[in-house]
């Protein structure tokens, strides 16, 4: 069996597409592990719990993601919604990490 993951443009079967999507999902989880490690660091570094939520920074992160998505040809509004959820989840995680310390 061929273990090669094809680029999306090279896929000719749904099996190939699904293998590619599953691989990307594994890679995304690995990236989320890295991102949440930074949330652990932020919870360790920030002096007060009230510093965990930073609305100007949240807006900047979402705007950056939207701009990068649009530059790559992806739908900016949809990516902004996705990133809003990611940032809110990260904030909740960081709050829990802060409370554990």
Question: Binding site membership for substrate: which residues?
Answer: 18, 35, 46, 94
- Provide the annotated binding site: 18, 35, 46, 94
The answer to whether the beta carbons of residues 79 and 65 sit under 8 Å apart is: yes
Cα-based distances in Å from 69 to 12, 58, 75, 99: 26, 17, 7, 34
């Amino acid at each position: 069996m061929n273990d090669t993951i094809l680029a999306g443009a090279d896929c000719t079967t749904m099996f190939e597409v699904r293998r590619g999507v599953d691989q990307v999902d594994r890679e995304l989880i690995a990236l989320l592990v890295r991102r949440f490690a930074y949330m652990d660091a932020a919870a360790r570094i920030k002096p007060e719990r009230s510093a965990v939520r930073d609305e100007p920074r949240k807006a900047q992160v979402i705007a950056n993601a939207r701009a990068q998505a649009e530059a790559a040809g992806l739908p900016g509004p949809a990516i902004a919604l996705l990133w809003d959820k990611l940032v809110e989840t990260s904030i909740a995680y960081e709050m829990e990490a802060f409370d554990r310390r």
